Chains A and B, each alone.
Chain A
Amino acid sequence: MSLLTGLGAGGAVTAAPTRRPPSRAYWWLLLPGLVYLALFFVVPVGALLGTSLYVPVPGGDVGQYQPAFAVGNYADALAQFWPQLVRSFVFAFLATVVTLVVGYPVAYAIAVRARGRPVLQGLLLVLVVAPFFTSFILRTIAWRQILADDGFVVASLQWLHLLPEGARLTATPFAVVCGLAYNFLPFMILPIYASLERLDPRLVEAGADLYASPMTTFRTVTFPLSLPGVVGGTLLVFIPASGDYVNSSLLGNNTNTAMIGQVVDARFFRLLDYPTAASLSVVLMLAILLLVAAYVRRAGTEELL
């Protein structure tokens, strides 16, 4: 009850005495959500934590484990797979930067430049989400063909001497980061668009009236007002990208592109090593939580969100 009251009051302690006690309807309205979370979040995470501590059955067959409290599973998993874990975050970070650099101008063009032309705006937004109409795995496989050694991209780059003879694009870290950026780009554009769409043009005019250059106006007015979208977009790109395994397995190689999702998948399905897969998943979850918490704190955007 106290939790609900706290939430309802929004932290405004002074308002509390005059408030009506929350009605029971709150509970009933919350119930479906709570049941859903209990079933599909709390239980699986509990099972995951449990599994991460299992040990193999002595003398058992492949994939047979028994409950235990083997905290060492975490140390073993981290000792072996920390490079893949670090690489996942580096790739996800690079992809986030690329999507921001590519996505911000697109969102700006749709939200600000195309303002007042709803048909054009609608069309552009549809184009942004159009890739979602086909499966993301098929699109990634398509990239393998587009970037293939005999494809026109490689041939053109070599003709322009941007790519040395004999170099390649697929099966490289470059391809994996590009794949991540491509696949998650709409998640960056849409939140920034939503922020910029609410931008009051009079504020920009005011900036100009006060003799600020367009660059300064952008830096001090437009960009800060779009920060909630930028923060939202970076989170929406970074979090799924760090756990992604499709891009790294389709566009990567076997030496320097394996990401943590690939490792978890291989442990789970190929080795039936459930404890290691589970402990790596827990580590990934905690690492993302910590990184995101630090980021949101640093961005100082609790109020913005």
Chain B
Amino acid sequence: MPRPLPPGTDPVVAALVAHGRRAARARRAASAGLSRRQFLLGAAGTAGTAALLAACGTGGGTPGAGGTSGGGGGAGDALRWANWTLYLDQDDAGGYPTLQAFTEQSGIEVEYSEDVDDNDTFYGKVQGQLANGQDIGYDLVTLTDWMAARWIRMGYAQTLDREAMPNTANILPGLADVDFDPGRTHSLTWQSGFGGLAWDTEKVPGGMATVSDLWNPEYRGRIEVLSEMRDTIGLIMAEQGVDIAGPDWGDAEFGAALEVLREQIANGQIRQVRGNSYAQDLVSGDAVAVIGWSGDVTALNFENDGRFGFAIPESGGTLWSDNLLVPTPSSRVEDAQTLIDHYYDPVVAAQVAAYVNYITPVQGAQEAMADVDPSLVEEQLIFPDEATLSQVKVFRTLTPEEEERYNRDFLDVIGA
């Protein structure tokens, strides 16, 4: 999931926040239940910062998954998977039930790590080895669309054998074919989410329906937008009537959207352009409305008694996905495929979705959810229906030249 931090803070903050959340969760082992919702309910009322401060004394280290099942080889034989924080179902003991089940069924040990803090930072860490064809320390990585596109374009992702993964036929039709990976031969979706509008229902009782609502002078200095270019610019472009998924837009449309952002930063309407940490500002009251991500708002609401609203703007929102890829230097592509196949089993997908609260890419998971958590079957942020999906679009893949130039212009506007 795209969880970049503000330009400037990425690696360390992300690691600490991830560590803090993990440790805080471990600390709350007493509260029953498997799902993040239940965990968050247990943690309700705890200020985020307080939890982080309290948690920071505990030891770090990545919890090894699947370690409970007997037999198997040593750690050196494990399949190494790098994923984002809070992106896999976890139990009170810190284990990952669906991963343990996988190890029991297949005999494949998995070394699971939450090592992806940020697409750019992760790429910066492994790029050197990838370019030289050396092992990067992972056999499976989870990366957002545009970063996955870069890996595939540069030949850093192995070809996957779809025949060996029969469950992957369950992939949602909308995700089965993407412009950066025609036919899904190098990547498969892990989870997806929406970029849209989020607001504090106490301070913005009327809610937000369009991106322009953010520019209401009443909220001057209390608006924040994402430092993820594709979500912020994507929403503004959509409001300007651009089909962000289509090939027909270019510099002029991007520039027009960027101009809106520039103006709203210059006139003080936008307080800060932030990464995932906009969530803290919504809670502290520094921000009353933001451009944010669906899963975050769901999680925040369970910590704050449903204080926040989320909507896809009338002119359209963004849909992003994170994808599973096998790095070229890995020798474990067969085992990785077995694991991907496991997670495309609808029952397993439902278990994961009940915990992470993002959109599952697996057809049939909705039916399976009835047994896992019936209250989530109709949840639009996990199982969006056609009407919801018609409101969102995937930001089109940029050429390397565009990506570099647009990123540069975007950074100039946000002052870094």
Q: Which residues of A contact B (CB under 8 A)?
A: 60-63, 134-135, 137-138, 141-142, 144-145, 148-151, 166, 168, 170-171, 245-246, 248-250, 252-255, 257-258, 261-263, 265-266, 268-273
Contact = CB atoms under 8 A, between A and B. Distances in A.
A200 B21 CA distance: 51
B285 A148 contact: yes
B284 interface: yes
Contact of B416 (A149, A150, A262): A262
B287 to A, nearest CB: 9
Interface in B1-37: 4-13, 16, 20
B407 to A, nearest CB: 5
B286 A148 contact: yes
A272 B10 contact: no
B8 A142 contact: no
A141 B124 contact: no
B272 A254 contact: yes
Given A258-B415, A268-B124, A171 B284 contact: no
A254 B5 CA distance: 14
Contact of B53 (A138, A171, A250): A138
B280 A145 contact: yes
B273 A138 contact: no
B334 interface: no
B271 interface: yes
A-B complex: 10 closest residue pairs judged by Cβ atoms: A249-B8, A150-B285, A262-B8, A148-B284, A266-B7, A266-B416, A254-B415, A245-B8, A61-B400, A258-B415
B121 A151 contact: no
A248 B415 CA distance: 11
B379 interface: no
A134 B118 CA distance: 24
A129 to B, nearest CB: 16
Contacts of B118: 269
Nearest to A250: B9
Nearest to A134: B56
Given A148-B286, A245-B8, A272-B120, 7 more contacts: A141-B277, A141-B280, A144-B281, A144-B284, A249-B7, A266-B416, A272-B127
A140 to B, nearest CB: 9
Interface of A, helix, strand, loop or mixed by DSSP: loop
Nearest to B13: A137
A248 B222 CA distance: 18
Nearest to B415: A254
B175 interface: no
Most B CB contacts (10 A, CB to CB) among A63, A150, A250, A269 go to A269
Contacts of A249: 5-9, 416
A285 B88 CA distance: 43
A255 B124 contact: no
A20 to B, nearest CB: 50
B404 interface: yes
Contacts of B49: 138, 141-142, 144-145
Contacts of B270: 254
B265 A254 contact: yes
B52 interface: yes
A268 B10 CA distance: 11
A266 B53 CA distance: 27
A250 B6 contact: yes
Most A CB contacts (10 A, CB to CB) among B56, B286, B416 go to B416
A253 B271 contact: yes
B150 interface: yes
B259 interface: no
Contacts of B277: 141, 250
A270 B411 contact: yes
Given A135-B16, A250-B9, A142 B53 contact: yes
Most A CB contacts (10 A, CB to CB) among B11, B57, B271 go to B271
Most B CB contacts (10 A, CB to CB) among A142, A171, A245, A273 go to A171
Contacts of A142: 49, 53
Contacts of B9: 137, 245-246, 249-250, 265
Contacts of B123: 63, 272
Contacts of B120: 269-270, 272
Given A61-B153, A258-B416, A265 B16 contact: no
Contact of B221 (A168, A257, A258, A265): A168
A204 to B, nearest CB: 42
A167 to B, nearest CB: 9
Contacts of A258: 415-416
A254 B272 CA distance: 6
Contacts of B16: 135, 137-138
Interface in B44-68: 47, 49, 52-53, 56-57
B176 to A, nearest CB: 26
Interface in B357-416: 400, 403-404, 407-408, 411, 413-416
A246 to B, nearest CB: 6
Contacts of A141: 13, 49, 52, 277, 280
B252 interface: no
B75 interface: no
Contacts of B256: none
A26 to B, nearest CB: 38
Contacts of B150: 61-62
A144 B411 contact: no
Interface string B121-134: 10110010000000
